[in-house]
Structure 1
């Protein structure tokens, strides 16, 4: 008949692509989230924790903005000279406008390595690493579940 369309049928090739996408997409998301957690968030938390014993200094937020992306600067005095340093990405300093006074900790041998004193415990970054890592594991489990399901279907066929 002319003008009739079959609905709900697909070729074996299209079905295979759907199954592969059902495995590959969660696997790709798991890899991306796992890399974000392990290669970005955990090292950032360790960096912040390394500044726990840093030298405290009273600083002024030189330029506010999106500290989440690492675009905040603080200005403080070290041995009579003015230092302008970047707060690390994810800093809590961005909640405040430029000119706000805050306490920072810096490395004695490198005043450019600085963090807001409220961030040096690294807790927020560790929490985010755990959440993102957990999401990576969920997507990995979804991908594995789909692969097992596909293997069972092939065995039955």
Structure 2
């Protein structure tokens, strides 16, 4: 039962969190390009990084979305970003608009989910055969 629960949890992580994050990153592929500076560093993959850049003549400080890379970069690091022209606070690193770490985590958690699901099925079949053999004795 624990492996089934883990399989369902990983499937939910993949389908409900990481897949939408990867799609969001890809949606910014056609956004406006700008040179930015890493304003706040942290766990960028968890969405805890900020960048500062110029858009429409004003300075914007925006959060990088969940699934972004660059977590090991220091504050002040220069990078290229893509942003939505009508809302410059929606931004992603140029390097992440292909899906970034979110796409990789979607695949990894999906594969892990399948592994635990197969493990659950194998354990259930093994237990059923064992019970049947015990009844036949």
Query: What's the CA shift string for 1:51-83, capped at 9, x where partnerless?
Result: 000000111111112212211111111111111
Give the Cα–Cα distance (whole angstroms) in 1 for the partners of residues 27 and 122 of structure 2: 40
Listed as ranges, the matches of 1:54-93 within 5 Å are: 54-93=31-70
Structure with greater Cα Rg: 1
Aligned to 1:136: 113
1:94 positional shift: 2.1
Aligned length: 134
Aligned to 1:5: none
1:46 positional shift: 0.6
Moved over 3 A (4+): none
Give the Cα–Cα distance (whole angstroms) in 2 for the partners of residues 68 and 49 of structure 1: 15
Gaps of 5+ in 1: 1-23
Give the Cα–Cα distance (whole angstroms) in 2 for the partners of residues 130 and 150 of structure 1: 30
Residue 71 of structure 2 corresponds to residue 94 of structure 1: yes
Query: What's the CA shift string for 1:20-39, capped at 9, x where partnerless?
Result: xxxx0110110111111111
Aligned to 2:86: 109
1:70/1:88 contact within 8 Å kept = yes
Give the Cα–Cα distance (whole angstroms) in 2 for the partners of residues 75 and 127 of structure 1: 26
Give the Cα–Cα distance (whole angstroms) in 1 for the partners of residues 42 and 25 of structure 2: 20
Q: CA RMSD in A?
A: 1.3
1:99 positional shift: 1.1
TM-score by length of 1: 0.80
1:86 positional shift: 0.1
1:61/1:93 contact within 8 Å kept = no
Give the Cα–Cα distance (whole angstroms) in 1 for the partners of residues 6 and 125 of structure 2: 18
Give the Cα–Cα distance (whole angstroms) in 1 for the partners of residues 11 and 56 of structure 2: 42
Aligned to 2:7: 30
Aligned to 2:123: 146
Gaps of 5+ in 2: none
- SS at structure 2 position matched to 1:65: coil
